Amino acid sequence: MRNLKKALSVLVISLLAISLVVPAAAANEQVSLVFNGQEYKADLYIENGVSYIYAAALSKIPGLEIENKDYVPLRSVFEAQKGEVKWDGSKNQINISWREKQDEWTVNDLLLQSTIKMQELNTYKMQGEAVMNMVIDGANAEEIPAIPETSTYLEAVYQQEPLAMYMLQTVKLPLEDMDLTEEEMALIGQNAMTTEMVWKDNAIYQKMPPFEQWIVQDLAELGMMDQLTNLMQVTPQQSLEMMNEFGVINVFGEDKVIDGEEYYVVRTFVDSEIFKKLLDEMLEEYNLMELIASTQPLPQDEEIDMEQIMAEAEEIIKQMFANMELNYYIDSLIHKESLLTEHMTIDLDMKFELDEKIVPEGPVSLAMNMFGDFKMFDFGEEIQLPDVSDAITQQEFLQQLQDMMGAEEVMMEE
């Protein structure tokens, strides 16, 4: 169970860092549905000239109100909410336009232009906070410790060319509500745990408590530098094409005014199927587990088998992909004059189950919700990165720990 807790920790941290990402079968294959210019897979049928669609298939469109839980008439739903529904008999195709345009912009054109302008300015800073709740349930629920709500404060700077990034995360933990040993309490410190990460010169530098030491991992040694760089430096057009290819839904929300400034609101939705497609694409490019392992602190406890922890984490990820239910909403606030994305909120709900391979006592289910609010600013300004000139490798860090432990044993013997 101890290794399971650590494997789950690796998984949660990796999902957050990476970062700070609907099964459907057509009941009538002769009729296709296009939503805002994109093919939309859904369970629908036509009866007496009226197109009906399963209500759940529309739930992933942000802001669309659906009262019925069964099949609903497609035209009535969208026209009641100021949408347009057209029939193309030559293609046996239903075309829907809903919240696709605002002023002179289509939603995809606005996203594209905002991304282009941000890349032209090359740099920006980001601040924000995310709150996460996780519930674990299973056959022996009384033995499963409750996981308290955690909040994470984030500061980051980003540079497109040459690629560079700095991220500081402070996780606030209610230690009094957590089942921790004295050693684990000491490791975390004063109800908060701060980690730092720098990405520059084809290397990742990390600093984690309780050590004030930068540890470096050369990405070239992992054999996937080109793939990671390409992933981080994808062009705006490539990004938009990838979103369309995988079925990501973008619509306009209601405009907002913040501190007297006017913003377009673009609402984006990612579900389980889209998320799996995106991750499958990433996993084809590089070994995710190798990357995760290379960016985790080395174990200080001789009883902990890091290989076993990573093997369990890999099995968790496999099982998670197999039965995951995910709904991920992103609201991007784009300034009407500058067209820069200055605010972003995220709302993520995820559920999955783990079987006896991971939890011998019986299968468990995990449900997680995360809500975050972030702002971007100082576009185009020169960024400052921490001094990492004294960084050492993981192997050097491990040797230092072993030397320290040896010295302590000698002192105890004396």
Rounded CA-CA distance 339/118 in Å is 9
Class (C level, CATH) for 2-21+104-399: mainly beta
pTM summary value: 0.76
- Buried b / exposed e over 170-186, threshold 16 CB at 10 Å, is ebbbeeeeeeeeeeeee
pLDDT at 35: 87
pLDDT at 28: 36
What SS3 class is residue 43?
coil
Q: From 341, 337, 340, 365, select the one nearest 351 (Cα to Cα).
A: 365
The DSSP element (H or E) to which 396 belongs, if any, is: helix 394-413
CB 285 within 8 A of CB 227: yes
Rounded average pLDDT per 10-residue block, the chain, 414 residues: 48 47 34 83 79 84 83 88 86 86 91 92 96 83 72 94 93 70 64 89 87 85 64 69 76 94 93 75 59 52 59 76 85 96 94 79 85 96 94 85 66 56
pLDDT at 148: 81
Q: Where in the chain is the domain with CATH 2.50.20.20?
A: 2-21+104-399
